[in-house]
Amino acid sequence: MPAPDEQPVDRRRFFREGFRELLKPLAQAIEPIEDVLKQLTDLDSPSSPASRIPPGVWLRPPGSLAEKPFYETCSHCGECARVCPAQCIKIDPTGQTARGLPYIDADVMPCVLCDGLQCTHACPTGSILPIPLVEIDMGTAVWNPHTCVRTAPAGPGTGAQDCTICIDRCPVGSMALELVGNDVVVHPEGCAGCGVCQYYCPTDPKSIVVIPKAARER
């Protein structure tokens, strides 16, 4: 028979091992999510952030529902595109682009987060809902130091450039983008995903790209 002072140790070991077994399913469920986030935002990867956007994922107007209910409720009426002062919201009547739903191509024209966020009030079906500016989450910008003119390896006769266009143009300001040392730092909690930084980025491929929020829903 074990000594009395050994019994608590055995009991603690029993519960510790049992608790570890209970956590295994949770850990297995979290690991794929962590892998996706790492793939989308990994700054160690020299590839363009745009190449990390899954096929079939599009940037939607501010206030849009998650992709599935957005698809189910949008009537393709085009009211959001009609009232957009920047004319950044597009709809492909053939349905071949973005499943025929309203979308934004930040390389062509980004959302400028206009006064009044007019598209959010024009939608007749509730696919796009009025939302405060600070709560807009169209996606998250990802910066790539491997191609940015501030930090990219310099070629013969070239050197780093003091470019801050993405930061200067950001309509949200330092809540979303900030220069820390020589790095462009994206604050996901403040980034609206409007795509202005991507639009004005001077490099090819773009060194800062918005990953649409639908990429996080997969």
Residue 39 falls inside a structural domain = no
First to last CA, the chain: 55
Q: Give me the residue label for tokens 């700054």.
A: 43
Per-residue confidence band for 34, with pLDDT thresholds at 50, 70 and 90? very low
Mean pLDDT of 1-12: 49
State how far the Cα of 165 lies from the Cα of 197, in Å rounded to an integer.
7
Residue 166 falls inside a structural domain = yes
CB 203, CB 147: distance < 8 Å: yes
Q: Which backbone phi and psi does 119 adopt, to 5 degrees?
A: -65, -30
Domain assignment of residue 184, given as a range: 49-217
Residue 15: pLDDT above 90? no
Mean pLDDT of 64-91: 97
State how far the Cα of 188 lies from the Cα of 38, in Å rounded to an integer.
14
Residue 121 falls inside a structural domain = yes
Of the two residues 50 and 11, the one the predictor is more confident about is 50
Q: Which DSSP helix (H) or strand (E) runs through 183?
A: strand 183-186
Mean pLDDT of 81-96: 96
Of the candidate ranges 15-29, 49-63, 190-204, the one whose mean pLDDT is the lowest: 15-29
Residue 24 falls inside a structural domain = no
Q: CA-based angle 178:183:188, to the nearest 5?
A: 50
Of the two residues 154 and 201, the one the predictor is more confident about is 201
Residues present in the chain in total: 218
**What is residue 69's three-state secondary structure?**
helix
- Number of domains present in the structure of the chain: 1
